[in-house]
Amino acid sequence: MIDYALPNERGHFGMFGGRYVPETLMQPVLELEIEYEKAKKDPEFQAEVKRLLEEYVGRDTPLFFAENLTKHSGGAKIYLKREDLNHTGAHKINNAIGQALLAVRMGKRKIVAETGAGQHGVATATVCALLKLDCIVFMGEEDVKRQALNVFRMELLGAKVVSVKSGSATLKDAVNEALRYWVANADDTHYLLGSVMGPHPFPMMVRDFQSVIGNETREQILEREGKLPEAVVACIGGGSNSMGMFYPFIGDTDVKLYGVEAAGRGIDTPYHAASLTKGRPGVVHGSLMYLLQNEDGQIQEAHSVSAGLDYPGVGPEHSYLKDAGRVIYDSITDEQALSAFQLLAQLEGIIPALESAHAVAFALEQAAKMKETETLIICLSGRGDKDVDTVRSIIKRGESQ
């Protein structure tokens, strides 16, 4: 066991994290920190979060023993934490509920959010519909084209989706626009950031709201196996599902934690999203973290078949845990993820999100190296309905070649 109490009062995880924001945003982030600390200690607030997570989201999510997958890999017992069964189909809503309730508590009735693939945007629009909050979602023009169905979903839920044409017109530019919007509208608007990134207190707060994943998993596995798992595996884009899964296990040093980044077409090509594996520390979007950047410090585009992992940075806490050696970070290519996507569908009747398929691919390799008496848990962060079109067109292309 180790004691772990990060971030410090300045929002730093070692050298990472912090609040690298324009002065205009200092008041909003300081106010947010104070309000969040109050809410955290308020039993009424916590009860309301819990109630919505149970009655609206459908928690607890099951911990499923994947017997067929286990036989296939021939090693450790593999369990799946079924975040794909949450309302809206992914873990994103855990955080959206928490932050939206916090916004209401702060008297802010307008929400701005960024989205890449659209999962966080849909989760945010959903909660805003429920709580009668105005919702504006910034989304890169490229992603708007690639994820037309999710754009329609958000609009159906009453959100206004703004297509971002600046920069590379993807997730990082959507974050820029959301930050610019917040700079101008912080008086009545809360920025509902979707991952464990951005200025303090966001990385800590999003981690806390997502920790429901790891807390449930810990209880469930102790009940089923009578012991903690030997390994826990989760995918990493910005890093929210993995941080929520890992956090309750950080003190248990016997539990190996594996974070899986997107290697895209390969980490030795320019087309990947492996910020921890190939990036170096830098500052963007309010935080010091590992970043894909060129030698002049210009932020580079990330690439992955999975839009949710397609981000050039990674949360500051992951950056810290990498340097501290507590979490092992590795990467999985598009091709490996696509195979795992199909394999899980065939073996277990579960179609995972392409993001989660990265974790599945890595876990299969890892489990094979482990003993049959050991257990490994995969955070199945989302379901794959959103990706079937993408996968179908890739398989078709493969067949025609």
Partner 1 sequence: MNRIQETFKQLKENGQKAFVPYIMAGDGGLGCLADRLLTLEKFGASLIEVGIPFSDPVADGPVIQQAGIRALANSVSLRDVIVELKRTKGNISVPILFMTYLNPILSYGVERFAEDIREAGIDGCIIPDLPVEEEDIIAPLLEKANVELIRLVTLATPPERIEMISQKGNGFLYTVTVKGITGTRKEYQSGIGEFLEEVKRLSAIPVLAGFGVSNEEQARELASFCDGVVVGSRIVELFIKNDLQGIEKLVSSLHKETMI
Q: Give the one residue of 215, 228, 281, 339 binding partner 1; rule: CB under 8 A.
A: 281
User: Any contact of residue 19 with partner 1 (CB under 8 A)?
Assistant: yes
The answer to whether 301 is a known catalytic residue is no
Stretch that binds partner 1, among 243-251, 266-274, 290-298, 316-324 (CB under 8 A): 290-298
Q: How far is the CB of 141 from partner 1 (least distance, A)?
A: 15
Question: Residue 166 or residue 253: which is nearer to partner 1 going by CB?
Answer: 166
Among 28, 194, 203, 239, the residue binding partner 1 under the rule CB under 8 A is: 28
CA atoms of 123 and 96, how far apart (whole Å): 6
- Binding status of residue 41 toward partner 1 by CB under 8 A: no
Measure the CA angle with vertex 309, ends 123 and 46; round to 5°: 40
Cβ-proximal residues to 268 (8 Å cutoff; 6+ apart), any chain:
none
Asked if 170 interacts with partner 1 (CB under 8 A), we say no
Catalytic residue chosen out of the listed positions 81, 92, 256, 322: 92
Taking a C-beta distance cutoff of 8 angstroms, is the pair 86, 380 a contact? Answer: no
What is the Cα–Cα distance from 278 to 261, expressed in whole angstroms? 10
Q: Is 292 in the site for partner 1 (CB under 8 A)?
A: no
Q: Which of 47, 71, 166, 222 binds partner 1 (CB under 8 A)?
A: 166
Q: Is cis: bond before 201, omega within 30 of 0?
A: yes
Q: Which of 35, 83, 114, 301 is catalytic?
A: 114
Q: Which two tokens stand for residue 172?
A: 């990082």
Give the torsion sign (CA, 99, 164, 357, 4).
Answer: negative
Q: Does 297 bind partner 1 (CB under 8 A)?
A: yes
**Catalytic residue check, 92:** yes
Sort residue 17 into left (φ over 0), alpha (ψ -120 to 50) or beta: left
Q: Report residue 275 as tokens.
A: 């910020």
Widest pairwise Cα distance in the chain? 60
Q: Which of 1, 2, 23, 268 binds partner 1 (CB under 8 A)?
A: 23
Quote the least distance from Cβ 289 to partner 1, whole Å.
Answer: 11
Distances (CA, A) of 230 to 105, 216, 362, 365: 40, 17, 15, 15
Window 175-234: residues binding partner 1 (CB under 8 A): 176, 179-180, 183-187
Catalytic residues, by residue number, are 92, 114, 381
Can you give the binding site for partner 1, defined by CB under 8 A?
Answer: 10, 18-24, 26-28, 166-167, 172-173, 176, 179-180, 183-187, 281-286, 291, 293, 295-299
